[in-house]
Amino acid sequence: MSTPTRLRLFCLPYSGASAMVYARWRRALPEWLQVCPLELPGRGMRMDEPLQRDIKALAAQLADEISCDLNGPYALFGHSLGGLLAFELAHALNARGVPAPLALFASGTAGPARRDVSEYAIEKTDEQLIARLRELQGTTEEALANPELMQLMLPILRADFLLCGSFTYGERAPLGMPIHVFGGKQDSVRADQLLDWQLDAASGFSLDMFDGHHFFLVQHESAVLRCVRRYADEHLARWRNGAARPLAVG
């Protein structure tokens, strides 16, 4: 009896987070959809490595790390900064001539074509970072008031903001894979900014909106995962039928 085909979902964390934010997904999703969180330098199991502040350099590093093991169907998922990093990773993988992702999932993040990252290009103070965390409503007041926790978290968040601020769009062809975009109905990232992802989607686009603010993927995890599973199932079925399309990026 043959082993069922699995689709690996490489997940990229949002600013200040580690790969652990996707740990629950492994238990919530079926075995055929294999959650593979990517740990970024400077956190979690890679705490001893220096934090990265250049998004293209980080995407190239991650592409080198995973490109030797892309012998089956896979997709990329990222929330907030992770969505922008997933976009850069897709381009970096294409530059290496490896098999393309079946899809890119970009959650809670504006499309790259008209994105303004200028506010992130300047290093933030601790006070500015804490104010931003409070605005995003993803960190409890107890955590914000914990000096030891903030001492660990703020350097990572500061580097991640600079990582986002290093992004430049450049002249690149649209990605030759479907792009599925998720947004929060009460998030500060507007629907028109989410729709900008269409400019980089050459072979399919969707936008799904969920109740909640920026961290809707935590607040409404079940609804988000149902959507991820549905799209992944469709792409895996097409891949099995030989309809998977190559990544057509110049």
What CATH code is carried by the domain that includes residue 61?
Answer: 3.40.50.1820
Is-above-0.85 flag for pTM?
Answer: yes
Q: In this structure, are residues 109 and 188 in contact, taking their beta carbons and an 8 Å threshold?
A: no
Identity (one letter) of the amino acid at 126?
D
Q: Which of 15, 18, 67, 80 is catalytic?
A: 80
Instruction: Evaluate whether residue 122 is within a structural domain.
Output: no
- pLDDT by residue for the chain (250 residues), tens only, comes to 345 689 999 999 999 889 999 999 999 999 999 999 999 999 989 999 999 999 999 999 999 999 988 989 999 999 999 999 999 999 999 999 999 999 999 999 999 999 999 988 989 888 888 888 888 777 788 888 888 888 888 889 999 999 999 999 987 888 989 999 999 999 999 999 999 999 999 889 999 999 999 999 999 999 999 999 999 999 999 998 884 444 433 3
Instruction: Evaluate whether residue 87 is within a structural domain.
Output: yes
Q: In this structure, are residues 42 and 156 in contact, taking their beta carbons and an 8 Å threshold?
A: yes
For the question of residue 18 being annotated catalytic, the response is no
Place of tokens 């250049």: 54
Which domain range does residue 73 map to? 7-116+169-237
Instruction: Evaluate whether residue 125 is within a structural domain.
Output: no
Question: What's the domain count of the chain?
Answer: 1
What are the residue ranges of helices labelled H in 69-136? 81-95, 126-136
Instruction: Evaluate whether residue 59 is within a structural domain.
Output: yes
